Structure 1
Amino acid sequence: MIGWEDVYKVVVAMVPLYVALMLGYGSVKWWRIFTLEQCDAINRLVCYFTLPLFTVEFTAHVDPFKWNYRCIAADALSKLIIAIVLALWAKCSSKGSYCWSITSFSLCTLTSSLVVGVPLAKAMYGQMAVDLVVQFSVIQAIVWLPVLLLVLEIRRAGTTDAGAVHVDKDLEGTINAEASSRPDFWHLMKLVWLKVAMNPNAYACIFGIAWAFVSNRWHFEMPSIMEGSILIMSRAGTGTAMFSMGIFMASQEKLIACGTSLTIFGMVLKFIAGPAAMAIGAIAMGLHGDVLRVAIIQAALPQSITSFIFAKEYGLHADVLSTAVIFGMIVSLPLMIAYFAILEFAH
């Protein structure tokens, strides 16, 4: 059962993030330290250096031979359900949007597991839950964030290749632009894969998990010179991401950058739709007991900070993602306790 000491541990984990956020906010809003061009450079530093090395660091130290692969399958099934629903919405609804489908997928599925999830999971269900939360976090880093990166590159390449492109209704190439032609599919994909191959976020996760398999199979540790080279930047990953978010907030006219209705929309996707899809996937894969409860609760964790960094870099609804991260972390503790109580009562 969660006690005040457990609540304090979660608060201790979260407060430093808001310190970094406020420093970023103040550096632009109050102290005028950075120009707009410098703010963009800071976000690119986070996107291409600190976050990839952070990914390498925590994926390289897991043991994939001890993973619960039924949980991984449940996670994949839940995300497939969400992707199908969003694809049908984008194709069949008059209000459907490819761009909003990308953002909605991020809101439903991508979580900040390591910051909030680990201390909460340990308080609720012990070390077993911690192991599962870390496992879900690694799978997110090596599978789902690269998938997000890929679709963002497809969107960017389509826009760049065709000039003024309206991509809200399809990857098939319906283009509404003056004096522009339909881009060749294979040329488009060539551009996309080239961009992805040049992005360190794509192969950081591959390197990290490859090292995890090799080191756990043959039982040797990473050379200290190599680990030190990774740690020197990776330790700044989460802090610089929150700092960049504070900078972004300061550049907006309103504190709630996306407005009240979109904030509520994001919270519903994050804390209701995501856990509901996970519950369906977990039950379908035969999960039960505390493992089922942990799977559902971790799906309701606050929004991934990395998803905001990608949204800012690719110019896609960064206001919505930043609001989801900030307010998600504020309301996450009481919501997680509510989920815990409901699931225990259902048991």
Structure 2
Amino acid sequence: MILDLGAIFGAVVPLYFAIMLAFLSVRWWKVFTPEQCSGINKFVGDFAVPFLVLDLLTANDPYTMNFHVLAADALQKLVILAPLLVWKSLSKNGSFDWVITLIALSTISNTLLVGLPLVQSMYGHTSSDLLIQLVVLQSLVWFNVLLGMYEYRAARILIAQKFPNTAASIVSVRINPHVASLSDTEQLETDTEIDADGKLHVVLRTLSTSSTISVDSMYSAQSTIELRSSLKRAGSSSTSRSYGTPEGRYHKQGSNSSRVADASFDIEAITEVSEPSIQTGTDSKNLDEGRKENPPAGVVARLIIITVWRKLIRNPNTYASVVGITWSLIAFRYNIKLPLILKGSITIISKTGVGLAMFSLGLFIALQPNIISCKISTVVKCIAVRLIVGPAVMAATSAAVGLHGIVFKTATIQAALPLSIVCFVFAKQYDVHPHIFSTTIITTTALFLPATIVYYLLFRLLP
């Protein structure tokens, strides 16, 4: 027993060391500025973590994939989501914002960075292979499902603001290539054409002042300063122009905003402590109570599919996952080994992945204005959702699909891992309870070790 706990502490305490080192570097020693922290996060998001994913996938045999584990994971999401949607539909206190928040809090784990070292120290390499499968599923499916829910909310807000009385008349929407997200309605403008039947044809585009700024330039210190100053100047003006016939066949409207919404999952939102991008004062509950017309379902679906796809193809983890899975399918089918040069090139970067990612998490914690940014009662509820409700539902769904032994234990414990920082990135960009996600990430990162040890000891009592 003592040796088992020693192995667990030996695997997890170094993760805490990296977090603490980053925290002290910013809060006490003032080694890094926010711009430098943004650069570190950029490297982690674009290189370290994708290469880590690629390295893990190329060494994992896809032909031994445990589909029962994947089924249990999917069933957990559905079991939690279904009652939340019923509550949202039937209760006057129901809100789609809280549906998104609770499903993310209870189901999205920091599996890749924290889970792999932890479960491998508990149950060996077999458990780590299972977690790699869950990492792929989360990266390619669940992150994008969550993103789609956020984009659905943003689409409803956009349509409610731009077309409060004519939403049902919209028959088509074309989205400019510069539009990567609907998360900031103030930076978007709409060109509207009315055909002979009174139907609306909408073109959605970014303002010219923001669309000319490249995404990459946002990550250098100088470019960040220039971007903020230029958009601050631009934010003092707004436009609303009409063209065409006196009946207003063609109308163009727009206003300027704070910054361009980036399309990657790991962005400078992690290090900036400014206000969230959406400042609409509108939530899904208000939309349900106040809007009289709904747009056609196909219009909303098109908006969501296009924006989610654009984020997906700009995320380096997508390419790492696809390339890794493709290679492993070929390599394990025909017994081909990765060339030594390629293997070494991937490994030398992937080895920085866990350490730098945990260091980045420490930077995130240090740059928050408050460690606890919501009520204590809310913190306790969020911790309970993350560390108790999520694992309990996962244990039930795992048992339902027939999991047992180490596979059952691994599936349950991975559900008690800290909340993924991706949830905060999304929450901040779409302004859906970012303070709750920030606080939950910090507290669950601090508490997950004793929580998972309790689960581990309880499972030792099982046959």
TM tier relative to shorter chain: 0.7 to 0.9
Give the deviation of 1:58 after TM superposition: 1.5
The answer as to whether partners of 1:283 and 1:292 remain within 8 angstroms in 2 is yes
Q: 1:168 to 1:43 in 2, by over 3 A?
A: farther
Say which one has the larger Rg.
2
Q: Distance in 1 between matches of 2:106 and 2:65?
A: 23
The answer as to whether partners of 1:55 and 1:204 remain within 8 angstroms in 2 is yes
Q: Distance in 1 between matches of 2:133 and 2:61?
A: 9
> Which residue in 2 is equivalent to 1:75?
73
Give the deviation of 1:198 after TM superposition: 1.7
Give the deviation of 1:187 after TM superposition: 4.4
- How many residues get paired? 340
Match status 1:169 vs 2:167: no
| Equivalent position to 1:29, from 27, 30, 34 | 27
The answer as to whether partners of 1:17 and 1:239 remain within 8 angstroms in 2 is yes
Q: Distance in 2 between matches of 1:227 and 1:92?
A: 54
> Which residue in 2 is equivalent to 1:13?
11
Q: Which aligned pairs between 1:157-306 and structure 2 lie closer than 5 A? A: 157-161=181-185, 165=280, 168-169=283-284, 185=300, 186-187=302-303, 189-306=305-422
Higher strand share: 2
Q: Deviations over 1:192-241 (max 9, x none)?
A: 32232122233322222222222111111222333333333332223223
Code of the aligned partner of 2:28 = W
Code of the aligned partner of 1:209 = I
Q: Distance in 1 between matches of 2:38 and 2:120?
A: 37
Give the deviation of 1:63 after TM superposition: 0.9
Q: Distance in 2 between matches of 1:187 and 1:145?
A: 17
Give the deviation of 1:274 after TM superposition: 0.9
Root-mean-square deviation over aligned CA pairs = 3.5
Code of the aligned partner of 1:272 = I
Q: Deviations over 1:111-164 (max 9, x none)?
A: 334555456545655554444344334433343234334545666623334665
The answer as to whether partners of 1:312 and 1:318 remain within 8 angstroms in 2 is yes
- With structure 1 as the length reference, what TM-score do the two structures score? 0.80
> Which residue in 1 is equivalent to 2:143?
145
Percent identity, aligned pairs only, is: 39
Give the deviation of 1:67 after TM superposition: 1.9
Q: 1:338 to 1:249 in 2, by over 3 A?
A: closer
Higher helix share: 1
The answer as to whether partners of 2:371 and 2:442 remain within 8 angstroms in 1 is no
Match status 1:49 vs 2:73: no
Q: Deviations over 1:243-279 (max 9, x none)?
A: 2222232233333344423321221111221122212
The answer as to whether partners of 2:365 and 2:371 remain within 8 angstroms in 1 is yes
Q: Distance in 1 between matches of 2:151 and 2:343?
A: 30
Q: Distance in 1 between matches of 2:55 and 2:427?
A: 23
Structure 2 stretches lacking a partner, 5+ long: 155-180, 189-278
Give the deviation of 1:95 after TM superposition: 3.9
| Equivalent position to 2:447, from 331, 337, 342 | 331
Structure 1 stretches lacking a partner, 5+ long: none
Q: 1:59 to 1:85 in 2, by over 3 A?
A: farther
The answer as to whether partners of 2:184 and 2:430 remain within 8 angstroms in 1 is no
Give the deviation of 1:317 after TM superposition: 4.8
Match status 1:58 vs 2:173: no
> Which residue in 2 is equivalent to 1:39?
37
Q: 1:345 to 1:200 in 2, by over 3 A?
A: same
SS of match in other structure, 2:182: helix
Give the deviation of 1:74 after TM superposition: 1.5
Q: Distance in 2 between matches of 1:307 and 1:187?
A: 21
Code of the aligned partner of 2:20 = M
SS of match in other structure, 1:71: helix
Q: 1:276 to 1:232 in 2, by over 3 A?
A: same
Give the deviation of 1:65 after TM superposition: 0.9
Q: Distance in 2 between matches of 1:315 and 1:234?
A: 32
Q: Distance in 2 between matches of 1:51 and 1:151?
A: 25
- With structure 2 as the length reference, what TM-score do the two structures score? 0.62
